[in-house]
Amino acid sequence: MNIYKRFPTLKQLAPVYSIVVVVIYSWSLLRFFWRLPSLLNYSTAGQIGVVLSYLITINLLESLSVVFVPVILSLILPQKWFSERFVTKSVLLVLLGLGYAIFIASHINTEEPFPYVLFQWAPLVFLLIFVLVLLLDRIPFLTRILEDLSDRFVVFLFISVPASVISLIVVLVRNIF
């Protein structure tokens, strides 16, 4: 079978990417606004904008790497397992995966020594997530919710994509010229 046919279309990718964007960018923006009062004490608006640009550029790279995972899965797994219901399965996969990332990140921020155990459990957690994703077909109610959710979240791409492009340009311009 032609591998290109299994490559998700832009229409399929957009809702998945929007979920990734909302989670990753929100986490960072939350931190950013938490730091903002301190930044305002000593930075100009331009300097704050540059800090935000670097942050959003990193978010862009992170979100693209995350969305790459379901794309790869759809290419390598049997069509019935994943790519036939690409949107819902991918949304569940990234939601659970990012949820685990948030769990780890919040522990890193508060725990000492470093919580290695969370990383050690990661393969098992991802296996569990994968099994849940494969079983999604048996839970139509959840499928419907995920479809609706991702469909509504696409609107955030209209903000995040231009913001990311502008940020990327800012970072490139500052480091080229």
Partner 1 sequence: MSKISRRSFLKMVGSAAPAILFPKASSWARDNLRQPDASKPNVVILLFDAMSARNLSVYGYPRSTTPNLERFAERALVYHSHRSGGNFTIPGTASLLTGTYPWTHRAINHRGMVKQDMVENNIFRAVGKEYHRLALPQNVWANLITSQFANDIDTLLSPSTYGEMDYLNDDLFPKDVNMATRALDDFTFKEYEQASLIFGPLLSALYFRDAARLSKDGYPRGLPNNENYPLYFRLEDLFDGLSSLVPGLSSPSFAYIHLYPPHAPYRATSRFYRKFIDNFRPVKKPVHRFSGHTSNTRLASARRSYDEYIASIDWEIGNLFDTFEKEGVFENSYVIITADHGEMFERGQVAHTTSLLYEPVMHIPLLISVPGQKTRRDVYAPTNAVDVLPTVAQLTGNPMPEWAEGHLLPGLGGVEDYERSTFTVEAKKVSAFAPLGKATVAMQKGTHKLIYYTGYESEDTFELYDLESDPEELEDLHPAQPAIAKKLKEELLDTFLDVNKPYMKQ
**Which residues of the chain form contacts with partner 1 (CB under 8 A)?**
23-24, 27-28, 31-32, 35, 38, 40-44, 47, 50-51, 53-55, 58-59, 61-62, 65-66, 98, 101-102, 104-105, 108-109, 113-114, 116, 119, 171, 174-177
Residue of 115, 35, 102, 30 whose CA lies nearest to 66: 102
Helix axes of 10-42 and 86-110: crossing angle, nearest 10 degrees: 20
- Choose between 31 and 80: whose C-beta lies nearer to partner 1: 31
**Residue 30 or 128 having the CB closest to partner 1:** 30
Instruction: Please say whether the beta carbons of 163 and 52 come within 8 A.
Output: no
The residue among 57 and 88 lying less far from partner 1, judged by its C-beta, is 57
- For residue 113, whether the previous peptide bond is cis, meaning omega lies within 30 degrees of 0, is yes
From the CB of 165, what's the least distance to partner 1, in Å? 18
Least CB distance from residue 158 to partner 1, whole Å?
Answer: 22
CB of 121 to partner 1, least distance (A): 13
Residue 132 CB, nearest approach to partner 1 (Å): 21
The whole-angstrom separation of Cα 46 and Cα 104 is: 33
Nearer to partner 1, 81 or 100 (CB): 100
Taking the complex as a whole, how short is the minimal distance between the CB of residue 80 and partner 1, in angstroms?
A: 30
Give 1 or 117: the residue with its C-beta nearer to partner 1.
117
DSSP per-residue string spanning 43-59? --HHHHHHHHHHHHHHH
Residue 121 CA, chain-centre distance (Å), reads 21
Contact status, residue 126 vs residue 74, Cβ threshold 8 Å: no
Contact call for residues 66 and 97 (beta carbons, < 8 A): yes
